[in-house]
Amino acid sequence: MNEELAQNAPAWVRVREALEGFARRSPSRFAVLIFAAMILVFTAIFAAPFSGANNTPTALADALFTAVSTICVSGLSTVDMATHWSPLGNAFVFIGTQIGAIGVLTLASVLGAIISGGLGLRAKLMIASDTNPLRLHAGPVPEGQAIKLGDVGGLVVSVAVSLFAIETVIAILMMPSVMAAGYPVGESIWYSFYYAASAFTNTGFTPNIGGLAIFQGDFWFLSLIMIAVMLGSFGFPVLYALRRHLFHPRKWSLHVKLTLTTWWLLWAGGILAFLIVSPIGSTAFRAFDAGQRIFEAAFLSTMARSGGFNIVDISQLDTATLLLTDMLMFIGGGSASTAGGIKVTTFAILLLAAVAEARGRSSIEVFRRRVPSDVLRLGVSVVLWGATTVALGTLILSNITDAPLEYILFDVISGFATVGMSTGVTASLPDSGVYVMAAIMFMGRVGTVTLAAALAASQVGQFFNHPEERPIVG
């Protein structure tokens, strides 16, 4: 569109053009802005009297925190989510998590697609999990090359349809359990959809008074929660590949193989570690019989991925169990998923780098593929971002609250990785701490995704004129 045309175009076209320009120049910053704007809108909504029970307005700190927690699908809360909100407020929470989840999935997929090659955006996304030989040779491209708001629109629809379809299936499967718990039909439908959405989007909010404890012995319901969280935390590219080639692992891309392998190894490793470590120090774990212990270990290991539901009271767990959960939460789920953390592929790449180093290989290799060395550098950047966020957050909160360090660290990592399990520290924070925690969630959710994309997308060509020299490390 040339200068003169832009002058004469209607206002909405010019706004759209300006947005497209900004999005093209810097999609990462554009994404951060969109997220910030959504959070402000929902802060206003949650602060308004019509969102509160009994038409009461909500304090700014709590409204902002709930908006961040909802849009970032974090699931931490400073108010009692079951009683604090009016039915309308509850509906906004539900809508917020859906918008947040679709936003995050779209954003991560778009930015991930920009990273993964130089093809058109929609095409790239559709083949992101496919066996396209072009993908093997794709390198990073300049930010501006491939993104258009129109393409994103198509992707949003595609993500949203998948999301609602999966959530509806899960909700229908959950319905009998919710009705069996004694809720009337209307509430049962609402609760089922809320739980299905809360689980698949890895949010972790519970709509009913008493929360998940009501379903303590209902293994069908709890297993559905686990499966929904799992599917959500795999990420869109993996789900897409599974839908097309579920029984043909040879057709999976490296990303799909690496995500699923690491996911399951961490999951099983987590269960094993909980079974070994937790009964030593945790009276809550010791009280269980063998079957309950295994189920609880599996549940905790799943929820640490970023689901955030909990059966046992987190504050009743011993320090060793909390630290184990911290590690799992920090790693988080799959890239381009609603799960948080540094992501399982990032963790895998770091480990594979160490393995390559130990085997004396000059490049990272896995599943008969060579991983370019700039992927490691991207991974290191993401981990440094995460470690810095967690360290600063813990440092600041340790000055704000007198809670034990293991509790503070747990809630900070839970916030950073948008997990949502809490030792109770978050709910007891003064306003200053609530703002800090909201910032941690925002940096964890929007930060890692856009950071990875912004960095990967900013590769520029350059000539080398510096000689190589090798410092000693370690």
The interface with K ion within residues 383-422 (CB under 5 A) comprises 418, 420
Angle (deg, nearest 10), helices 405-416 and 431-442: 40
Say how many Å lie between the first and final Cα of the chain, rounded: 55
Q: For 466, which DSSP code? A: S
For residue 201, give every residue at least 6 positions away whose Cβ sits within 8 Å of its Cβ, in sequence order, or none. Answer: 73, 97, 98, 100, 101, 163, 232, 338
Contacts 24+ apart (CB under 8 A), 288-296: 295/219, 295/222
Tell me which residues in 121-140 interact with K ion (CB under 5 A): none
Q: From the list K ion, its own copies, none, pick the one residue 281 interacts with, judged by a Cβ distance below 5 to 8 Å according to partner type.
A: its own copies
Cβ proximity to K ion: between 129 and 338 the closer is 338
Cβ proximity to its own copies: between 214 and 417 the closer is 417
User: Is the alpha carbon torsion for 237, 245, 369, 360 positive or negative?
Assistant: positive
Query: What is the C-alpha to C-alpha distance for residues 315 and 319, in angstroms, rounded to an integer?
Result: 10
DSSP string for 160-209: HHHHHHHHHHHHHHHHHHHHHTT--HHHHHHHHHHHHHHHHTT-----ST
Q: From the list its own copies, K ion, none, pick the one residue 255 interacts with, judged by a Cβ distance below 5 to 8 Å according to partner type.
A: its own copies
Among 89, 204, 333, 433, binds K ion (CB under 5 A): 204
Residue 308 binding K ion, by CB under 5 A: yes
Q: From the list K ion, its own copies, none, pick the one residue 253 interacts with, judged by a Cβ distance below 5 to 8 Å according to partner type.
A: its own copies
Q: From the list K ion, its own copies, none, pick the one residue 451 interacts with, judged by a Cβ distance below 5 to 8 Å according to partner type.
A: its own copies
Query: What is the C-alpha to C-alpha distance for residues 278 and 265, in angstroms, rounded to an integer?
Result: 19
Q: How far is the CB of 156 from its own copies (least distance, A)?
A: 19
Q: From the list K ion, its own copies, none, pick the one residue 376 interacts with, judged by a Cβ distance below 5 to 8 Å according to partner type.
A: its own copies
Amino acid (1-letter code) at residue 401: T
Strand partners, 94: none
For residue 55, give every residue at least 6 positions away whose Cβ sits within 8 Å of its Cβ, in sequence order, or none. Answer: 49, 86
Q: How far is the CB of 439 from its own copies (least distance, A)?
A: 17
Q: From the list K ion, its own copies, none, pick the one residue 373 interacts with, judged by a Cβ distance below 5 to 8 Å according to partner type.
A: its own copies
Cβ proximity to its own copies: between 159 and 196 the closer is 159
Strand partners, 52: 85
Q: From the list its own copies, K ion, none, pick the one residue 374 interacts with, judged by a Cβ distance below 5 to 8 Å according to partner type.
A: its own copies
The residue of the chain with the least Cβ separation from K ion equals 308
Tell me which residues in 418-447 interact with K ion (CB under 5 A): 418, 420
Reference 321, options 394, 397, 444, 407; nearest CA is 407
Q: How far is the CB of 34 from its own copies (least distance, A)?
A: 19
Residue 89 binding K ion, by CB under 5 A: no
Cβ proximity to its own copies: between 312 and 403 the closer is 403
Q: How far is the CB of 141 from its own copies (least distance, A)?
A: 12
Q: How far is the CB of 258 from its own copies (least distance, A)?
A: 5
Q: Are 196 and 174 in contact (CB under 8 A)?
A: yes
Cβ proximity to its own copies: between 2 and 250 the closer is 250
Q: How far is the CB of 265 from its own copies (least distance, A)?
A: 15
Q: From the list its own copies, K ion, none, pick the one residue 75 interacts with, judged by a Cβ distance below 5 to 8 Å according to partner type.
A: K ion
Reference 159, options 233, 107, 97; nearest CA is 107
Rounded to 5 degrees, what are φ and ψ at 372? -60, 145
Cβ proximity to its own copies: between 84 and 135 the closer is 135
Among 27, 52, 75, 334, binds K ion (CB under 5 A): 75
Cβ proximity to its own copies: between 89 and 334 the closer is 334
Q: From the list K ion, its own copies, none, pick the one residue 358 interacts with, judged by a Cβ distance below 5 to 8 Å according to partner type.
A: its own copies
Query: What is the C-alpha to C-alpha distance for residues 249 and 291, in angstroms, rounded to an integer?
Result: 32
Residue 334 binding K ion, by CB under 5 A: no
Q: From the list K ion, its own copies, none, pick the one residue 97 interacts with, judged by a Cβ distance below 5 to 8 Å according to partner type.
A: none
Reference 120, options 153, 159, 148, 154; nearest CA is 148
* Piece of the chain touching K ion by CB under 5 A; list 33-41, 51-59, 69-77, 439-447: 69-77
Cβ proximity to its own copies: between 170 and 273 the closer is 273
3-class DSSP assignment, residue 118? coil
Q: From the list K ion, its own copies, none, pick the one residue 319 interacts with, judged by a Cβ distance below 5 to 8 Å according to partner type.
A: its own copies
Cβ proximity to its own copies: between 6 and 355 the closer is 355
| Dihedral angle of Cα 430, 433, 434, 437, to the nearest 10 degrees | -160
Query: What is the C-alpha to C-alpha distance for residues 95 and 320, in angstroms, rounded to an integer?
Result: 37
3-class DSSP assignment, residue 364? strand
Q: Which residues bind K ion (CB under 5 A)?
A: 75, 202, 204, 308, 418, 420
